[in-house]
């Protein structure tokens, strides 16, 4: 597992997106990356970003007070940002992180509103998921993979129990420690739940006893009530059955009488129709006068036909005389009007001839044009001869159109005469028929009057019978209505008494004595009233309370079992942690002595185990606090001790009893020796050291650098420093500066960009 890349956006002074690549271009497996820069440039914000992205929740550890303090706050030249995010990318080909990915990308974001989120490979996850997965790989905010300024000295100032925790983290039992801590938290929570359960049981128990007494009395009332309701159900079901039978019987009788009434009504209707028909026959006696009127009208029409025939005959004679006159010879004076009429006719004929000539297509049409030309010539010659005369004789037959009109008029009039004569004959026949109808109507009048009186007598008899049937039908309707009223009353009473629909009651088919059952129901009602009408909900409340009480007892037992189980888990985790701690302690103690002598050039240092008293407070299964006893002074007596770690360090030529007597440089060297001892036992995939060697002189810095090179075989180091000797160890060198806009900027230098004759520190100096 290797740290590949870190991307920072909006985190503290890194306003712009900044990327740090931790893979060496020379192919080194665990390159040493060094970050340098002047004070205040923001280089320590890189280690803060790495600590933050792996799950750090303490703002104090991140040198802030509020969540929004880690978001770029803006400057005079650059606006503040609303979001900060850090992305850390790991090479996971060895699957140290228990995920099925060769590359794991962990992202943490925070918004100025306070809302934040974690992501693993783009999927949203919980903080717990990030911590658990990284803990399995030996990475965590509490491990020694990220050491900030002041943490080295804090190691010496820490309590023996805190030092033990450091060694446990180095022993690779962080996941067990997390499980143990969670088990402790669950145990505390279970203790609290057990106490609350005991309190609820103590609260419910007296109330349950009172409910039990009330429920017993209510049970008696309930039994009476149930018996009453059972009787009522039987009684109402029987009555409903009886009413249904009476209703069906009444409806059947009503329907039967209704059918009989309809049949009688049909007979009455038939008699009415027959009387109506006979009355019309009687009325037909008056038809004689109508026939007389019709006869007179037809005689008037005959007279009209005679006049029409006479007028048409006279018109024909006059028209024939006009035709004769029109055909007679007339003398016409040859004057200017005569000449103009003739010339106009000749011109018209000439125009027609010219038009025909223009459309000639064959010889037949040409002959027609020739004939027309000859006629025109003849007309011109005739006009020339008539020009020397005073008048000319012309035949009336030349006005053929007028003669044709006269002849057509004669034909129409002759047809009209023939038609009128035929109509005249028809009218004569119709008048004869009317005479026969008058005779027949007089005979029928006598017969109709006699039958009309007989039908009226039959109608009166049938109507009296129908009236009697209607009275019976109304009685049947009243009987049905009475049954329906009783049914409605029964439905309301059933709803009031049983709160159910009467139709839903089932009749068992047994006959009952209505009076006896009604008396029994009245007796049960009186008895139930004497009991006092206890709320039936008391029984339900008692049952619910009893169920809740039983549930709480069961929960209490389950919580007791959970406490035992959690204690077993804690004991198991403690066994694993103690076993791994013992192995780590031996190795780290040995390596601590070795590195102390290397860094100091001699001297001696070692770790030792001591017993540290701790206060405990447990809760027994009854929910009572125990494990604490007060002495006479009112102080609590500790009942348990735990193993802590004490540090002894003696630089060359000195014998120091307390670490506080060491100088600042000696304290730093001692802390670094312990840090390297921890790293050497269980090398983390990467380690970030933020100015841990700031107090070292040049000689000790060189020793520090040699140790880094030795440990870099198994650990990828990221070092933030001002020390030139430390810079010489770098495979990758980053420089951090701050622009006038208040944002940090990153510069990088790689070995393949530096000549062999130059040193990294010289490049930085340039």
1-145+689-766: CATH topology:
Rossmann fold (3.40.50)
d(CA 749, CA 737): 14
d(CA 531, CA 221): 6
Determine the pLDDT at residue 336: 77
Determine the pLDDT at residue 253: 85
| Backbone phi and psi for residue 52, each to the nearest 5 degrees, phi listed first | -70, -40
- In the predicted structure, residue 762 carries a pLDDT above the cut 70: no
What digits encode the pLDDT tens for the residues 234-258? 877 888 778 888 888 888 888 888 8
d(CA 672, CA 153): 9
Determine the pLDDT at residue 110: 93
Determine the pLDDT at residue 758: 47
- In the predicted structure, residue 533 carries a pLDDT above the cut 60: no
What digits encode the pLDDT tens for the residues 378-413? 878 777 777 777 776 665 545 677 778 877 888 888
- Those residues whose C-beta lies under 8 Å from the C-beta of residue 635, and which sit 6 or more positions away, are none
Per-residue pLDDT, averaged over 155-184, amounts to 73
| Backbone phi and psi for residue 330, each to the nearest 5 degrees, phi listed first | -125, 150
Smallest CA-to-CA distance from 41 within 717, 692, 724, 720 is with: 720
What digits encode the pLDDT tens for the residues 190-214? 888 888 878 887 877 777 777 776 6
| Backbone phi and psi for residue 737, each to the nearest 5 degrees, phi listed first | -125, 170
Determine the pLDDT at residue 283: 57
CA distances from 528 to 213, 217, 218, 540 (A): 18, 12, 11, 19
- Ranges of each domain in the chain: 1-145+689-766, 286-455
Determine the pLDDT at residue 757: 44
Judge contact between 16 and 716, C-beta under 8 A.
no
Q: Is 512 exposed, middle or buried, given 0-12, 13-18 or 19+ CB atoms closer than 10 A?
A: middle
Intra-chain end-to-end CA distance of the chain, in Å: 35
Determine the pLDDT at residue 20: 92
- In the predicted structure, residue 364 carries a pLDDT above the cut 80: no
- Those residues whose C-beta lies under 8 Å from the C-beta of residue 164, and which sit 6 or more positions away, are 581, 642, 643, 644, 645
Smallest CA-to-CA distance from 685 within 716, 709, 712 is with: 716
Determine the pLDDT at residue 619: 41
Smallest CA-to-CA distance from 121 within 160, 159, 89 is with: 89
What digits encode the pLDDT tens for the residues 651-678? 887 777 777 777 777 787 888 888 888 8
What digits encode the pLDDT tens for the residues 28-86? 778 899 999 998 888 889 989 998 998 888 888 788 888 888 899 888 888 889 999 99
CA distances from 360 to 373, 374, 517, 534, 608 (A): 14, 17, 128, 131, 148
Determine the pLDDT at residue 625: 39
Confidence label for 526 from pLDDT (cuts 50, 70 and 90): confident
What's the mean pLDDT when you consider all of the chain? 78
Out of 1.10.287, 1.10.10, 1.10.260, 3.40.50, which CATH number does the structure's domain 286-455 have? 1.10.287
- In the predicted structure, residue 143 carries a pLDDT above the cut 80: no
pTM of this structure: 0.50
- In the predicted structure, residue 151 carries a pLDDT above the cut 70: no
* 74 token code pair: 């803006």
Long-range contacts formed by 317-324: CB under 8 A, 24+ apart: 319/406, 319/409, 319/410, 319/413, 320/406, 320/410, 322/406, 323/403, 323/406, 323/407
Strand order, beta sheet including 732-738: 146-147, 686-690, 716-720, 33-36, 732-738, 744-750
Judge contact between 723 and 701, C-beta under 8 A.
yes
d(CA 78, CA 218): 79
Query: Looking up tokens 């020793």, which residue turns up?
Result: 703
The number of angstroms, rounded, from the C-alpha of 469 to the middle of its chain's C-alpha atoms is 68
131 vs 332, higher pLDDT: 131
Is the sign of the CA dihedral 93, 94, 95, 96 positive or negative? negative
What digits encode the pLDDT tens for the residues 96-110? 888 999 999 999 999
| Helix or strand run (H / E) with residue 157 | helix 151-157
d(CA 732, CA 718): 9
| Backbone phi and psi for residue 184, each to the nearest 5 degrees, phi listed first | -65, -45
Query: Looking up tokens 């009048």, which residue turns up?
Result: 445
| Helix or strand run (H / E) with residue 89 | strand 83-91
- In the predicted structure, residue 274 carries a pLDDT above the cut 80: no
Which SS3 state, helix, strand or coil, does residue 622 take?
coil
DSSP 574-585: HHHHHHHHHHHH
Which SS3 state, helix, strand or coil, does residue 26 take?
coil
What digits encode the pLDDT tens for the residues 709-748? 888 888 889 999 988 888 888 888 999 998 888 899 998 8
Judge contact between 108 and 114, C-beta under 8 A.
no
* 157 token code pair: 């100032």
Judge contact between 163 and 644, C-beta under 8 A.
yes
For the beta carbon of residue 706, count every other beta carbon within 10 angstroms: 14
């Amino acid at each position: 597992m290797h740290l590949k890349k870190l991307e920072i956006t909006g985190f503290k002074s890194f306003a712009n997106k900044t990327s740090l690549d931790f893979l060496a271009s020379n192919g080194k497996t665990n390159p040493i990356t060094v970050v340098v820069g002047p004070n205040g440039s923001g280089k320590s914000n890189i280690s803060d970003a790495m600590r933050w992205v792996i799950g750090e929740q303490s703002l104090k550890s991140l040198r802030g007070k509020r969540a929004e303090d880690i978001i770029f706050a803006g400057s005079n030249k650059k606006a503040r940002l609303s979001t900060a995010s850090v992305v850390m990318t790991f090479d996971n080909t060895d699957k140290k992180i228990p995920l099925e990915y060769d590359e794991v990308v962990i992202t943490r974001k925070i918004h100025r509103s306070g809302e934040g989120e974690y992501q693993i490979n783009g999927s949203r996850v919980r903080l717990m998921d990030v911590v658990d997965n990284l803990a399995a790989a030996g990475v965590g905010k509490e491990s020694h993979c990220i050491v900030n300024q002041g943490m080295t000295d804090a190691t010496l100032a820490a309590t023996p129990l805190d030092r033990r925790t450091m060694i446990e983290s180095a022993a690779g039992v962080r996941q067990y420690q997390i499980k143990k801590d969670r088990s402790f938290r669950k145990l505390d929570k279970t203790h609290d739940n057990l106490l609350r359960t005991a309190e609820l049981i103590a609260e419910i128990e007296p109330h349950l006893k009172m409910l039990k007494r009330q429920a017993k009395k209510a049970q008696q009332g309930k039994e009476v009530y149930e018996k009453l309701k059972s009787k009522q159900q039987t009684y109402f079901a029987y009555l409903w059955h009886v009413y249904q039978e009476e209703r069906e019987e009444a409806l059947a009788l009503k329907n039967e009488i209704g059918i009989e009434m309809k049949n009688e009504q049909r007979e009455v209707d038939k008699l009415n129709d027959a009387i109506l028909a006979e009355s019309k026959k009687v009325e037909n006696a008056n038809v004689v006068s109508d026939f007389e009127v019709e006869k007179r009208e037809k005689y008037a029409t005959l007279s009209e036909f005679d006049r029409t025939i006479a007028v048409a005959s006279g018109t024909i004679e006059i028209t024939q005389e006009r035709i004769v006159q029109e055909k007679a010879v007339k003398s016409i004076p040859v004057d200017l009007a005569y000449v103009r009429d003739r010339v106009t006719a000749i011109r018209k004929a000439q125009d027609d001839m010219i038009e025909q000539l223009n459309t000639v297509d064959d010889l037949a049409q040409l002959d027609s044009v020739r004939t027309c030309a000859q006629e025109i010539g003849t007309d011109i010659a005739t006009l020339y001869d008539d020009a020397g005369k005073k008048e000319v004789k012309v035949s009336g037959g030349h006005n053929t159109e007028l003669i044709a009109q006269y002849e057509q008029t004669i034909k129409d009039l002759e047809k009209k005469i023939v038609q009128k004569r035929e109509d005249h004959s028809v009218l004569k026949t119709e008048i004869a028929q009317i005479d026969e109808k008058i005779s027949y109507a007089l005979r029928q009048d006598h017969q109709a009057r006699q039958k009309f009186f007989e039908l009226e007598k039959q109608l009166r008899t049938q109507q009296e019978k129908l009236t009697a049937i209607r009275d019976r039908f109304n009685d049947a309707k009243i009987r049905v209505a009475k049954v329906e009223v009783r049914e409605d009353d029964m439905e309301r009473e059933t709803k009031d008494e049983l709160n159910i629909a009467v139709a839903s009651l089932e009749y068992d088919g047994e006959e009952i004595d209505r009076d006896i059952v009604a008396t029994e129901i009245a007796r049960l009602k009186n008895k139930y009233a004497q009991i006092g009408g206890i709320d039936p909900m008391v029984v339900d409340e008692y049952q619910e309370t009893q169920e809740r009480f039983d549930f709480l007892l069961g929960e209490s037992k389950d919580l007791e079992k959970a406490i035992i189980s959690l204690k077993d888990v804690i004991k198991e985790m403690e066994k694993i942690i103690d076993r791994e701690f013992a192995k780590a302690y031996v190795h780290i103690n040995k390596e601590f002595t070795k590195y102390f002598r290397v860094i100091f050039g001699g001297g001696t240092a070692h770790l030792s185990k001591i017993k540290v008293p701790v206060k405990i407070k447990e809760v027994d299964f009854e929910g009572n606090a125990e494990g604490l006893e007060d002495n006479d002074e009112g102080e609590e007596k500790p009942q348990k001790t735990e193993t802590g770690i004490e540090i002894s360090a003696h630089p060359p030529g000195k014998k120091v009893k307390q670490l506080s007597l060491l100088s600042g440089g000696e304290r730093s060297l001692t802390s670094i020796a312990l840090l390297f001892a921890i790293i050497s036992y269980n090398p983390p995939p990467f380690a970030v050291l933020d100015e841990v060697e700031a107090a070292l002189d040049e000689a000790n810095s060189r020793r520090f650098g040699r140790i880094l090179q030795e440990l870099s075989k198994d650990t990828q180091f990221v070092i933030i420093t001002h020390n030139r000797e430390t810079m010489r160890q770098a495979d990758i060198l980053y420089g951090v500066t701050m622009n006038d806009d208040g944002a940090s900027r990153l510069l990088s230098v790689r070995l393949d960009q530096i000549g062999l004759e130059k040193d990294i520190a010289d490049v930085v100096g340039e």
